[in-house]
Each structure stands twice: as structure tokens, then as C-alpha cells.
């Protein structure tokens, strides 16, 4: 069966995502769209020159009309935050881009799942949901899927264990108010208070969380941008959708009553399947974690209110 996925925006993240999907062998056609048409054309040409090394796939560049029939539309287009610019400034600029782009996309692919990746991702996921008029299950954001992977990597390095055996989540905003769900973290089924058998130094949770939360800043300081890991996170979300996996991922989506939170998009462990977000898992959290999630939601609501939502 033909599987078309479209990527709006072919900057660092969009191009890396295209490469990730090409190498994953989960799509048969990739459509690249960018306001800079030559950039999209160049990326498509470059990727097509490697298709003999992967499963059959066609990469094309085009415009919104070429996205017709897409199973997923990945939105990475947007401005980057500049020095001295507030999050509200960035949100305002990128929300304006969405308000123009989403109605055009809806003309051609109203059945596609919208996967928001551009930042601030939780704000833009909410804006996309409101502007598109799509069911909330059909509009999701990459959320804290990457943040959770960073936390797992940092824990795996501390304990000297394969990262695939580490289970931990970051929830809330993809940003400064994100929340580590320590109460759910475990290695091989053992919570972090009962893993003395690894023979490692005591875990400094706050230091480890700060390392996780600030990771992007350190990468940007060194190479100017982050794109490989987020591209792999987006690929993972697409795999869960295209394979109808019912996987648990911390995507961003509309929260309506969970943990006392309403009318914002943020990340919570959720089941992801062919229709997008199936449901949010009401997992038992500590009182402190629930309070921090409500604080995260409050900060996001402030930004949304500033944008008129």
C-alpha cells in the first residue's frame, strides 16, 4: 500500500526528518514543501540519489496541493528564537505562519494527521487544532518524546545499562516548565529507589534533570542547532502511526480534564495508533508531579491567552 508523508519546512529539522523517514523504510513517498522552493527541490534531489540503498521510495518537492493523500503532514516550518526575543514573540510569529498554512493544507489533506514539530510546539499544536477544526486525536505535537529520550540516555549513562531498558518520561511543556515523572521511572521494572544492585553512586535527580532540560542549549552553543535527535523522535512517532502500534509516547495533544488541566496542549504518556492519539493514560503520579504539571499548563495558557486563544 502506498504511504505518503509530507514535510512542511526543509530546514535542518525538516531535512533530517526526511532522511530519517527515508532510511526507516516506512513510507513509499515523501513530499517536501518549503517557501524556498529551490531548497526543497535540492533536498529531494539529494535524497533521491540514495534511494537505491533503501526500500523503494520516491521523494518529490512541491506545494500544498501535492500533499493530497498524505497519511501524516509533519510541520517543521517556522522562525527560530532570536537573542532577546521572548517566547511570546516567537509564538506570535509562528502562529501567524500556521494561520496561513493550515487552511491551505486542509483543502488538500483533511484526513491527514497533523504532527507539529516547530516551536513552541505545545502552543503551535493548540493553534493548529483550533485553526484546522480537526478532531483532537488528529492533531498532535512531538512534545516531550525527545526530552524523554534524553532523560533515558542520561539515566542509562549513570547506571551503565542499555538505554532500551530504561523507562522514564518527561511530561508537560516541551520547555522550561517540563516535568520529570520520577514516580514512574524504572530500570528492568525496578524503581529508582531500589536499584542498589547496579553498584553506582546515589542518583542526584535534580542535577540529572537539569542536564536533560538544558541539553538543547549546550548543543546549540556548540553546533548552532539541534536536529538529528528530534528527527529520530519524529520518525518514531510516525512509525507508531503508520504501523498502528498503540505505542505509549509523550506526544503533545489537547488535555481536557486530566490531572485538573483543561484547554491546553501539553505532553502526557499517550497511546498512539493509526488514527493519531487514541487516548491519554491516567497513570498514578505523585502530588508534587501533578502540581508541577498544573503549573506547566498555567504557563502555557498564559501564552495562548496572549495570542488571543
CA–CA gap between residue 27 and residue 22 (Å, rounded) = 7
pLDDT less than 70: residues of the chain: 1, 81-88, 195-201
The answer to whether 80 is annotated as binding is no
Q: Tell me if residue 108 is catalytic.
A: no
Distances in Å between the alpha carbon of 43 and those of 15, 31, 109, 239? Answer: 7, 11, 23, 22
pLDDT number for residue 202: 74
State yes or no: 214 annotated in a binding site. no
Task: Say how many C-beta atoms besides its own lie within 10 A of residue 189's C-beta.
Answer: 8
Q: Is the pTM of this model over 0.85?
A: yes
pLDDT value for 203:
81
Question: In this predicted structure, what is the pLDDT of residue 268?
Answer: 98
What would be the CATH architecture of the domain defined by 144-307?
A: Alpha-Beta Complex (3.90)
164 assigned ligand-binding residue: no
Closest CA to 6 of 99, 113, 132: 113
Element (H, E) at 177: none
Instruction: For CATH 3.90.110.10, list the domain ranges present in the chain.
Output: 144-307
Q: What is the CATH number of domain 4-141?
A: 3.40.50.720
Q: Which residue has the cell 549546550?
A: 218
Instruction: Judge whether 140 and 249 are in contact, CB under 8 Å.
Output: no
Enumerate the CATH 3.40.50.720 domain ranges in the chain, comma separated: 4-141
Q: For residue 159, what pLDDT is reported?
A: 87
Q: Which of 49, 158, 174, 258 is catalytic?
A: 174
Between CA 28 and CA 4 the distance in angstroms is 6
What is the Cα 58 distance to its own chain's centre?
24
39 is in an annotated binding site: yes
294 is in an annotated binding site: no
Pinpoint the alpha helices (H) of the chain. Answer: 12-24, 37-48, 87-108, 121-132, 145-159, 205-213, 215-223, 228-242, 287-306
pLDDT of residue 29: 96
Q: Is 13 part of any known ligand binding site?
A: yes
Amino acid at each position: 500500500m502506498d504511504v505518503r508523508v509530507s514535510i512542511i519546512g526543509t530546514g535542518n529539522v525538516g531535512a533530517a526528518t526526511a532522511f530519517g523517514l527515508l532510511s526507516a523504510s516506512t513510507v513509499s513517498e515523501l513530499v517536501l514543501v518549503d517557501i524556498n522552493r529551490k531548497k526543497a527541490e535540492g533536498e529531494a534531489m539529494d535524497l533521491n540519489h540514495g534511494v537505491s540503498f533503501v526500500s523503494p521510495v520516491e521523494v518529490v518537492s512541491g506545494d500544498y496541493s501535492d500533499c493530497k493523500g498524505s497519511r501524516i503532514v509533519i510541520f517543521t516550518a517556522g522562525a527560530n528564537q532570536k537573542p532577546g526575543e521572548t517566547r511570546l514573540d516567537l509564538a506570535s510569529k509562528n502562529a501567524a505562519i500556521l494561520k496561513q498554512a493550515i487552511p491551505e493544507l486542509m483543502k488538500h489533506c483533511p484526513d491527514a494527521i497533523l504532527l507539529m514539530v516547530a516551536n513552541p510546539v505545545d502552543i503551535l499544536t493548540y493553534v493548529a487544532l483550533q485553526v484546522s477544526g480537526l478532531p483532537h486525536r488528529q492533531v498532535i505535537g512531538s512534545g516531550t518524546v525527545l526530552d524523554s529520550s534524553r532523560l533515558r540516555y542520561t539515566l542509562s549513562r549513570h547506571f551503565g545499562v542499555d538505554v532500551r531498558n530504561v523507562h522514564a518520561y518527561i511530561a508537560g511543556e516541551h520547555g522550561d516548565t517540563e516535568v520529570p515523572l520520577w514516580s514512574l521511572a524504572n530500570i528492568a521494572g525496578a524503581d529508582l529507589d531500589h536499584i542498589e544492585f547496579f553498584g553506582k553512586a546515589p542518583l542526584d535527580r535534580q542535577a540529572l534533570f537539569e542536564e536533560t532540560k538544558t541539553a538543547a542549549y549546550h548543543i546549540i552553543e556548540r553546533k548552532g542547532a539541534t536536529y538529528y535527535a528530534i528527527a529520530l523522535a519524529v520518525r518514531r512517532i510516525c512509525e507508531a502511526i503508520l504501523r498502528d502500534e498503540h505505542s505509549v509516547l509523550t506526544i503533545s495533544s489537547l488535555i481536557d480534564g486530566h490531572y485538573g488541566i483543561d484547554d491546553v496542549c501539553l505532553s502526557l504518556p499517550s497511546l498512539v495508533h493509526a488514527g493519531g492519539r487514541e487516548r491519554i493514560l491516567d497513570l498514578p503520579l505523585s502530588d508534587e508531579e501533578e502540581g508541577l504539571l498544573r503549573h506547566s499548563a498555567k504557563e502555557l495558557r498564559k501564552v495562548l491567552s496572549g495570542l488571543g486563544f
